[in-house]
Chain A
Amino acid sequence: MFSQAEPGISSWGRIIRREHEIAHPRFAEEVRAWARDSKQARLAIGLRRSYGDSGLSADALLIDMSGLDRIISFDPHTRILRAEAGFSLDELMRLFAPRGLFPSTCPGTRFVTLGGAVANDVHGKNHYSAGTFGCSVRGFTLLRSDRGLIEVTPESEPELFAATIGGLGLTGIILDVSIELTAIPSSEMDVEITPFSDLNGFFDIAAASEDRFEHTVAWIDCTVAGGKGVFQRANWAADGARNPHKPPGLARLPIDAPNFALNPLTLKAFNTLYYTAQTTGDRSKRLHYAPVLHPLDSIHDWNRLYGGRGFYQYQCAVPASAREAVRDLLDWIARSGEGSFLAVLKSFGPKQSPGLLSFPMEGYTLALDFPNRGERTLRLLDELDAIVRRAHGRLYPAKDGRISRAMMQAGYSELDRFAASVDALCRSDFWTRVST
């Protein structure tokens, strides 16, 4: 398997950009042949849509799995799709939406691989009904440095199954994944947009929507205290066309925006605009799934908006009883004036996640971006950590680039049990930080 040092490798947040040894295999057999006699430290990666350092590794070989993107089999009766780990949800939807099938859940971007979706046990806007992505996983093939190839199912290898789902690529290289697809009546969604003027408004709409709407999400204006925002709730339209999404347009940010592009003023302007655009006009409409589920995917490389220094995304989850914590977090952020235009607030349902380190817990999750301003930003995030910790919440490793070992331990009670399943040759910068 050919590999070489490539400069400027980064994750989605672009805070760390440096040279990495990286391989781009196209066939599983290349990876297997290499693994038979390599003792090199390694980390499999996907489309690098994780923000922090869980997909980077200073002293390991990165194996870019996105070239292993083939369907192995699909059974229309059981709706079980088995595909290589680099197969993306983008391709999955493009090919299967016209057949009335969809992944059980999907994150806010389609540009993730099956391997990445498993390794972070990703969630979507339909957590109440679908749970996490791992809930649809029926098995996978894992390549370990100690045991070689292993077919992992919940029955055959329960511990390895639970460790690998949400396992951050640390339990071995996932070569392929079997998932059960969900039937959809059409590719359109009936969407309702409702403004709310404070957090209580959000909690009320969220509670009223749980049973009636499959996909819910709210955007919060984080430049003002109080938590005004808009709530979006949607269901698959019972009738309508079955069209795949269009391939990404030509909209691209070819260069980094200047570092000052996101000062509190532009922030405010953007927030107001967003708010108005969402709330004027027709509040219920029928839309294709792409703008509803992946609104940012139409602009490629939007992460470059934050300029050359990159940005942090902070995503935490707190239990349902900790509404006050959500309020405190938003107050801190509003007062700091550091937050971005995108503060997303969602509720998580009671469905148990299958992974030892799965992020979702019943309650609320808040996510937003912070342009990297060095120490100042890190200090603010430490303040937010304290609130999350007091509320018995946790942070999402997919978004993280700074979490301390103590914070990780506080949020994830199975951390030590998980560590026992880590492949001795798998290594990421994230894991080096939280495991030592």
Chain B
Amino acid sequence: MTSNQPKKVIILGALSAVAEQVARIYAEEGAALLLAARKGEHLEGVASDLRARGAAQVKTATLDLASADAALEAPKMIEALGGGDHIVLAYGVLGDQERGEADQAEATRILQVDFMSAAQWCMAFARHLETQRSGSLVVIGSVAGDRGRASNYLYGAAKGGLAILVQGLAHRLSRVGVRAVIIKPGFIDTPMTASFKKGPLWAKPSAIAAIVRRAAERGGPIQYAPGFWRLIMLIIRTVPAFVFHRTKL
């Protein structure tokens, strides 16, 4: 990557509220983008907007990221864009915990989307970054992956597993100067949480996006977003089970 060439950025789940804000930051920097998402009818509008905001180039790929063959599709994306400097993985589903407890298909879906498929995309792009010996992989996890709790432990397990995977990749790739970062947001006001009651701990997608963008170049392999969640999760993780089990979280 030379500095006068636009950065090449691949965003998986580009229609997520957070991911679109990430794409806008890159667009204003003049980056070249490849947006991958499954709702093609929305992708073109987002792409035109990013071009008008200054993106050097915007390509789109319409596919179901949870069922696509990552090992096959990742190299195609890199080829279509002519490279891949920053890879951002943003897609995910919250799923229905209660249903997942009774219905194996729902449990499998959550694990497939949020962990299995995500892990495969990470592995595929890691191979590319390792060969390239530069660039970064930034993955959106969740604070829900820090401690299992009754209301969302399927989602939490997937995000927790993904965090361990990315942490391992960060270790492996550090030897060739490549970054891998897991972002752990708290509450974000997006369609995923549309029906939740909002309060002072809630962040805007643009605030999380700024953290995602910065993480591609600076900071450690585990980044809470916003940063105060590190402290909150430290406390939550250390609450003894006999106390935790009396809460309704």
- A-side residues, CB < 8 A to B, are 2, 4, 24, 26-29, 70-74, 95
A28 touches B191 (CB 8 A): no
A71 to B52, CA, bound (A): 7
CB of B48 within 8 A of CB of A95, answer no
* A27 surroundings in chain B (CB, below 8 A): 42, 45
Tier of interface size on chain B: 10 to 19
CA distance A29 to B46 in the complex (A): 12
Q: A2-B195, A71-B49, A95-B28 are in contact. List 13 more A-B contacts (CB 8 A).
A: A4-B194, A24-B194, A26-B191, A27-B42, A27-B45, A28-B45, A29-B41, A29-B42, A70-B45, A70-B48, A71-B48, A72-B48, A73-B52
- Measuring CB to CB, which residues of chain B are less than 8 angstroms from any residue of chain A? 17, 28, 41-42, 45-46, 48-49, 52-53, 191, 194-195
Interfacial chain B residues near A28, Cβ < 8 Å: 45
Q: Which residues of B contact A71 (CB under 8 A)?
A: 48-49, 52-53
Residues of A near B195 (CB, < 8 A) are 2, 4
25 contacts between A and B (CB under 8 A): A2-B194, A2-B195, A4-B194, A4-B195, A24-B194, A26-B17, A26-B191, A27-B42, A28-B45, A29-B41, A29-B42, A70-B45, A70-B46, A70-B49, A71-B48, A71-B49, A71-B52, A71-B53, A72-B45, A72-B48, A72-B49, A73-B48, A74-B52, A95-B28, A95-B53
- Chain B neighbourhood of A70, CB < 8 A: 45-46, 48-49
CA of A74 to CA of B28, assembled, Å: 15
Q: Which residues of A contact B45 (CB under 8 A)?
A: 27-28, 70, 72
Given A27-B45, A70-B46, answer yes or no on A2-B191 (Cβ-Cβ < 8 Å): yes
**A3-B90 Cα distance, complex, nearest whole Å:** 24
Residues on the B chain within 8 Å of A2, using CB = 191, 194-195
| Residue of A with least CB distance to B41 | A29
A27 to B44, CA, bound (A): 11
A175 nearest CB across to chain B (Å): 11
Residue of A nearest to B198 (CB): A6
Compute how far the CA of A207 lies from the CA of B28 in the bound complex, rounded to whole angstroms: 43
Kindly state the separation between the CA atoms of A24 and B17 in the bound complex, as whole angstroms.
Answer: 12
Distance in Å: Cβ of A240 to nearest Cβ of chain B: 22
**Least Cβ–Cβ distance between B211 and chain A, in angstroms:** 15
B49: A residues at CB distance < 8 A: 70-72
Q: In the complex, which of the residues B28, B41, B52, B191 has the most CB atoms of chain A within 10 Å of its own CB atom?
A: B52
Nearest residue, chain A, Cβ from B51: A71
